[in-house]
Amino acid sequence: MRGLEDMFIPFLRKCNNTIDLKRLHAQMEKFSLLQSNFLVTRMLDICDQNGEVEYASLLFQKVLEPNIFLYNAMIRAYTHNRKYVLTINVYKEMLRHHLKVEEQILPDRFTYPFVIRSCASLVNVWSGKQIHGHVCKFGLTGNSMIENSLLDMYVKCDEITQANKVFDEMTERDVISCNSLISGYMKLGQARKARSIFEEMPNKTIVSWTAMISGYTKIGSFGDALDLFRRMQVVGMQPDWISLVAVLPACAHLGALELGKWIHFYAEKNGLLRKTSVCNALIEMYTKCGSMNQALQVFDKMPERDVISWSTMIAGLAHHGRAHEAIQLFQDMQKANVSPNEITFVGLLSACGHAGLLDDGLKYFESMQNVYNIEPGIEHYGCLVDLLGRTGHIDRALKLINNMKIEPDSAIWGSLLSSCRTYRNLETAVIAMENLLELEPEDTGNLILLANIYADLGKWNEVSRMRKFIRSKSMKKTPGCSLIEVDSVAQEFISGDDSKPFSKDVFRILDVLALHQIEANDWVEIETEDL
């Protein structure tokens, strides 16, 4: 028997596809070699490499007495092919087999990383904790691969206390464990703890930097994300495509166009524009910074476009009032056989709203449901209410709100209230205001808008009443703010805030500009009189 096994080993080592494997399988079955753990383990590895997990499962199930190597091979194959539930089932079968036979088959250091990874992918912390107990029972604590897997599992399951406990008890912390814990804290918005671990790391990798930058972006700390990205370059760490995708949304939100352009140049120079995700992030950055021509250039040069590419471009064109171009792009998207998603239709309906294209908007809203089987969300209803309001169909907008399948939010009622001012519809404005007071009782903007509607209609007693109501509630209007980028640094200005060190200089320049404006107006008036 051993001689026959040895005969097939060289062929299995050279085999790298399932066609040749099946030929060998037929020969091995002829010689009754399919109970050989050694040969079947190698066959399972070949199946794993070729994604033939069902074939691997058939081979595994026919072995009457699998050993630890065969169990591990099957666990590995299931995990690599995302059959996470089956991974855990094979692990349980291994434990049951261990109890039945005299020859002990105990899980080892090669078993647990894959089993724990499966629990993490399933976000199954209950099974993960049980397996953690088995790791302790079988004396495998102290293995860095297992400990990192446990740490990653607890992080993905939002069990940050347990993750921190594993981290504290680790015999040897490496960059992988630090990165996992940083991601965990950032995921839960605990940026200070994540930053503390990051700063203490002696050897930071690109993954470490990206985890911090991505985390800052996700929790809205865009300035911190940009600062860390610049610091990463200062220390000589070259950004990869993942770090570029992480930082570009921060550029978009802060309007940091110059940094965004530098990232575009860097990505082009280093061949990273082949990545669709990088191009999508650049398109979003350019559209949010108002640079539509640059966004279109990136879009036109993309080697491959996915639904995010099309949707982002359509939304950008719509947002900047280029509605007809957005609609044309949607038609091009259909010709390219790319199926739209719910985000695509938000941009498309928004475009119709900006252009006042009521018939087109209603057509697209209907096709979204009947053609593409996409259930309208609150954003889609909001766009349609806005479209109806902009085109003067206030009653139809109110009827749509009352018949919506989901509860209308403040944005929808606010949109209706704004339309009521345009078309001086006081009756519907009061209905919208009543709903807004329930949803946003502290927002003075809505009350001011209603007061303006009263003023437009000449109802000054009602205007006075609204002003007294605002004062009686001690309400304050949310201050306006603006951003400007100077020397690649985004500066934020908030109305009434004089805390910045250069505020006096800003106010002095504003006074000078105001004087120039007054002089210019006087000059115009004099010239007009002379005429």
Hey, where are the domains in the chain? 305-370, 376-480
Report the candidate in 435, 406, 405, 404 with the shortest Cα–Cα distance to residue 415.
435
What pLDDT shows up at residue 522? 53
Q: Are 448 and 481 in contact (CB under 8 A)?
A: no
Calculate the CA 234 to chain-centre distance: 27
What is the number of residues in the chain?
531
Report the candidate in 216, 289, 212, 217 with the shortest Cα–Cα distance to residue 252.
289
What pLDDT shows up at residue 383? 94
Categorize the per-residue pLDDT at 453 as very low, low, confident or very high, splitting at 50, 70 and 90.
Answer: confident
**Residue 185 structure tokens:** 């804290």
- Tell me which of 446 and 48 has the higher pLDDT: 48
Q: What digits encode the pLDDT tens for the residues 92-108?
A: 999 887 555 555 678 99
- Cα distance from N-terminal residue to C-terminal residue, the chain: 115
Q: What digits encode the pLDDT tens for the residues 469-506?
A: 777 665 555 555 665 655 555 566 666 666 666 677 77
Q: What is the CA radius of gyration of the chain?
A: 32
Cβ contacts of 54 within 8 Å, gap of 6 or more: none
Separation CA 360–CA 3 (nearest Å):
76
* pLDDT beyond 60 at 411: yes
CA triplet 116, 118, 120: central angle to 5 degrees? 70
Longest Cα–Cα distance in the chain: 116
The total of other beta-carbon atoms located within 10 Å of residue 61's CB is 10
CA triplet 150, 145, 228: central angle to 5 degrees? 75
Beta strands in 14-80 (DSSP E): none
Residue 486 β-bridge partners: 489
3-state secondary structure 320-358: CCCHHHHHHHHHHHHHCCCCCCHHHHHHHHHHHHHHCCH
Half-sphere exposure of 81 (CA within 13 A, CB side): 23
Separation CA 519–CA 496 (nearest Å):
26
CATH among 1.10.3720.10, 2.40.240.10, 3.40.50.300, 1.25.40.10 for 376-480: 1.25.40.10
* pLDDT beyond 80 at 395: yes
**Residue 355 structure tokens:** 């252009």
**Residue 193 structure tokens:** 């703890």
Calculate the CA 26 to chain-centre distance: 48
Q: What percent of the chain has pLDDT over 70?
A: 89
Categorize the per-residue pLDDT at 527 as very low, low, confident or very high, splitting at 50, 70 and 90.
Answer: very low
Tell me the residue type at 303: P
